[in-house]
Amino acid sequence: MSEKGHLWGGRFGSGPAEAFERLNASIPFDIRLAPYDVRGSIAHARMLGEVGIISREEAEALVGGLEAVLAEIEAGEFEWTLTDEDVHTAVERRLREKVGEVALKLHTGRSRNDQVALDLHLFCRDAAERIRDGVLDTMLALVQVAERHRDLVIPGYTHLQRAQPLLLAHHLLAHFWALGRDLRRLEAAREAANVSPLGAAALGGTPHPVDPAFTAAELEMEPFVNSLDAVSERDFALDLLYACAVLGVHLSRMGEEWVLWTSQEFGFAELDDAYSSGSSIMPQKKNPDAYELMRGKAGRLIGDLNALLVVLKGLPLGYSKDLQEDKEPLFDAVDGVLAVLDVLPGMLRTARFRRERMERAAGGFALATELADFLAMRGVPFREAHRVVGRLVRRCEELGVSLEEVPREELAAAHPAFGGLPEGLLTPRGSVAGKKSPGSTSPAAVEEQLRRARELLETRRGGAGTVDDRG
C-alpha cells in the first residue's frame, strides 16, 4: 500500500490531490457493502487455502480476522476514513490491523473488479429477498382487509367517473394480483443476482489456479461463465431497479386512490392516527402523507432505473470508473421501497371504511349498465339497449331522480321489457350479485379469488403465518 493506504499507490510518486480524492472516493456510500465484502473475502480466503495458493494456516488466520471484522461491522463499531477510498480498502486495512502481514495475501487471484461486482451481486440478492418479504406482508394485509369487508360495496371508476359497483374486496384484490406480478419480478431479480463473479479477476481471469465454483458454492451462488462479462455486466442491478420501479408505480396508484378515498370529497375511508399527520396552521387537517410519499417516490424509482441505464449504455466491455455510479441509484431505490413497505401493511390493516358513504356512491347512475345488460339478456341488441338506457338517464336528470328512484311508469315508457325488472337489481348489491363471469366482482367470484390468494400466500410465505393472522 502507498503511504496514504491506496491499493494502487505503488505506481505513483505522490498522493492524489484532495479534490480528486473526494471525487474518486466511493467509501461514503459503498461502506454499506462492507458485510457483503467481508463474506466474499471469507469465501475467497477459504478457496485460496483449499487449492493451495496459500497455506491452510494462512487461510484460517484470514478467515478468523475477517470474521472479527464482520463482528465489528454488525455491531456498528467499524470505522473508516476518506483515505480508505473504498470499502475494499477499508476492510483490508482493518484486517491487516488484526492479523498482520498475512492480510496482504488475501487479494491474490482477485481484482477489485470482480470483488466489487460480487459485493453488488450479494447486496442485490439480499435486497430482492427483503423487498419480496415486504411485498408478501402487504399482500397478506390486502387479503385480511378484503376478508373483513367481504360485503362492502364501493363504486368502481373509469376516467375517475363512477362506472359500476364493485365489492371492496374485489378492488383490494386487484392490487393483490398486481403485487403478485411484482413478486415474480423480484424473484427473477434475485435469481439474476445469484451469480458469483469471483475468479474473473480484472477481466481476463488469473494465472493462479483459483476455483470459482468453490467460492460460488461457499456463497450459495452459481459461478460465472465468461470473465469479461462477469466484471462488466450490471443486468442484475437493472433487473432489481426495474422490479422496484414497477412496484413503485403499483404502490403509487394505490396511494393515489387512498389520497382520494380519505378526502372529504370522497369520504370513503379514514386513516388511523398513527399513519397520518396534521397541519402547522390548520387544526382540522388529517393528511395522508405516507400515501402521498408512496406516490411521490415512484418518480425517484423510475429515475434510479433510468440513471443506471444511461450509465451503462455507452460503456465498452471491461470495468470503467463509471460503474462506481451504479450503487447510489440502487441503494436509493431499495431504501425507498423498503421504507414504504415497512408502513403500508399497517396502514391498510388499521384503516376504517365508511360503509354508508361508499355504498351510496356506488348507486345512482353507476347502475345504468345493469339496465342495458338486462335488456340485452332479453334479446334487445346491446347497441339499442345502450341508447335506451342513455335516454332514460337523461330523463332521470330532467326529473332530478336517480335510477333507483325512477318511477315505474318512466321505466315502462323507456322500454316495455323493463316491466319485468327484478326487485333489487337496481341496487349496488343487486348489481354485484348479478355478475356471472369468472374473475368478476360477484361474491362467488371474489371468494374464489380469496381462495387462490390464500394458496399463493401459503406457498410463497412457506407457512410463516396464515392469512387469518391479524399481524
Question: Catalytic residues, which ones?
Answer: 159, 279
392 bridge partner residues: none
222 bridge partner residues: 195
319 HSE (CA, 13 A, CB side):
18
Residue 8, Cβ density class (10 Å: 0-12 exposed, 13-18 middle, ≥19 buried): exposed
282 bridge partner residues: none
**Taking the CA atoms of the chain, what radius of gyration do you get in angstroms?**
30
Q: Of 464, 462, 446, nearest to 143 (Cα)?
A: 446
Q: What are phi and psi of 130, to 5 degrees?
A: -70, -40
Task: Answer for the pair 280, 193: CB distance below 8 angstroms, yes or no.
Answer: no
- List C-alpha distances in Å: 414 to 142, 377, 406: 42, 16, 11
Which set of grid coordinates corresponds to residue 86?
A: 473504498
Task: Answer for the pair 155, 188: CB distance below 8 angstroms, yes or no.
Answer: no
Question: Alpha-carbon torsion 161, 166, 172, 174, what sign?
Answer: negative
